[in-house]
């Protein structure tokens, strides 16, 4: 077992996110890297103690490499925002990764470098050794488990995706049949996330995708290479998020009810084998969180 201390804004939501991630064994909320001895929540709330609301994450490095955990952490924060996450403002809501084991530094730096390159701007996330940590009182531990309707600055999907991925892994087990794997994957994603249409298009030959297992209304059966969102994702070998299907040139409308869409390629040995396609009846349903967690999910297939 190893541990890392992650400050990601209000610790109620941050803890709820981490505790759902496969390989996280235990979590505890508290206050890190501040100045006053034995701070209380009320003292930290005054924003004069120097502490950051922080989650102590104990994880099994065999199941969850540190690099993956830190990447997951970045999905739950705005890494450019200074002393503000969601609508919570103050130095206590600053973001930071605090490590105990100096050997972890290189790995964490590597992830910071990757994320910084994606954003193209310096990150506002602290990276420091852990100086001190004081657990918060019992009311704040597992807050959202005890108060399911309690305040949270994070979107609900951040809690659903990690659970979906770990449950899907268990469900698929070592079933070798790809149709069975895809069929149950579509069913579980639809059931858990409530999307309008969830399904797979698989590469058939050199220039076409053909409809595979899906959940939802009847759909187009074949899509050409480079055509529609699915064909474009195949051609470009990357996830495509479409906030408004009307705005995507060449979008193929299988249903007029579909308003936004995400397509994630299934890549094996550098080759696209098919795509996961998800449609929503609302505009702008999908963002970087869906892309990140659906890519993780697709890697299980």
> Taking CB under 6 A as the rule, does residue 277 contact ligand SME?
yes
What is the C-alpha separation between 208 and 228, in angstroms, rounded? 12
Measured from the CB atom, the residue of 28 and 279 that comes closer to ligand SME is: 279
Ranked by CB distance to ligand SME, the top (closest) residue is 228
Q: Are 272 and 226 in contact (CB under 8 A)?
A: no
What is the C-alpha separation between 205 and 140, in angstroms, rounded? 56
> Taking CB under 6 A as the rule, does residue 219 contact ligand SME?
yes
> Taking CB under 6 A as the rule, does residue 260 contact ligand SME?
no
Instruction: Quote the tokens at residue 122.
Output: 């310096």
What is the C-alpha separation between 276 and 212, in angstroms, rounded? 10
Report the residue from 32, 254, 272, 297 that binds ligand SME according to the rule CB under 6 A.
254
Provide, rounded to whole angstroms, the least separation between the CB of residue 294 and ligand SME.
15
Give the CA count within 13 Å in the CB-facing half-sphere of 37.
Answer: 0
Measured from the CB atom, the residue of 53 and 279 that comes closer to ligand SME is: 279
> Taking CB under 6 A as the rule, does residue 228 contact ligand SME?
yes
What is the C-alpha separation between 247 and 43, in angstroms, rounded? 50
Measured from the CB atom, the residue of 38 and 256 that comes closer to ligand SME is: 256
Total residues belonging to the chain: 301
Provide, rounded to whole angstroms, the least separation between the CB of residue 260 and ligand SME.
10
Measured from the CB atom, the residue of 27 and 258 that comes closer to ligand SME is: 258
Q: Which residue's entry shows tokens 């480079």? A: 226
Report the residue from 183, 220, 267, 301 that binds ligand SME according to the rule CB under 6 A.
220
Q: List binders of ligand SME among 121-180 (CB under 6 A).
A: none
Closest CA to 127 of 152, 109, 114: 109
What is the C-alpha separation between 182 and 301, in angstroms, rounded? 7
Residue 10 catalytic? yes
Which of the stretches 30-38, 105-113, 174-182, 247-255 binds ligand SME when contact is defined by CB under 6 A?
A: 247-255
Q: Which residues pair with 5 in a beta bridge?
A: 56, 98
Closest CA to 274 of 264, 266, 285: 266
Report the residue from 171, 252, 289, 301 that binds ligand SME according to the rule CB under 6 A.
252
User: Could you list the residues that contact ligand SME (CB under 6 A)?
Assistant: 197, 219-220, 223, 228-230, 251-252, 254, 258, 261, 277, 279
Residues identified as active-site: 10
């Amino acid at each position: 077992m190893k541990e890392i201390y992650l400050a990601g804004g209000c610790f109620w939501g941050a803890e709820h996110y981490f505790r759902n991630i496969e390989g996280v064994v235990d979590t505890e909320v508290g206050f890190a890297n501040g100045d006053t001895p034995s701070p209380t929540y009320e003292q930290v709330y005054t924003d004069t103690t120097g502490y950051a609301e922080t989650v102590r994450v104990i994880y099994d490095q065999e199941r969850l490499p540190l690099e993956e955990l830190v990447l997951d952490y970045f999905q739950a924060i705005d890494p450019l925002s200074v002393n503000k996450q969601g609508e919570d403002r103050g130095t206590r809501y600053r973001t930071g990764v605090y490590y105990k084991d100096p050997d972890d530094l290189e790995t964490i730096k590597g992830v910071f470098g990757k994320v910084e390159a994606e954003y193209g701007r310096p990150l506002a996330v602290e990276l420091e050794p852990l100086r001190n940590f004081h657990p918060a009182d019992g009311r704040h531990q597992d807050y959202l488990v005890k108060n399911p309707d309690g305040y949270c600055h994070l979107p609900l999907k951040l809690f659903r995706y990690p659970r979906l991925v770990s449950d899907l892994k268990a469900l698929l087990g070592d079933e070798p049949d790809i149709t069975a794997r895809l069929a149950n994957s579509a069913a579980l994603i639809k059931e858990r996330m409530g999307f309008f249409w969830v399904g797979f298009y698989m590469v058939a030959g050199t220039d076409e995708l053909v409809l595979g297992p899906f959940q939802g209304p009847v759909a187009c059966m074949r899509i050409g290479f480079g055509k529609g969102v699915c064909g474009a994702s195949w051609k470009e070998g990357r996830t495509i998020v479409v906030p408004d299907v009307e705005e995507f040139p060449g979008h193929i409308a299988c249903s007029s009810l579909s308003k936004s869409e995400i397509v994630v390629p299934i890549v094996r040995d550098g080759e696209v084998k098919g795509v996961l396609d998800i449609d929503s009846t609302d505009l702008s349903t999908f963002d970087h969180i869906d892309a990140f967690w659906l890519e993780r999910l697709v890697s299980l297939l």
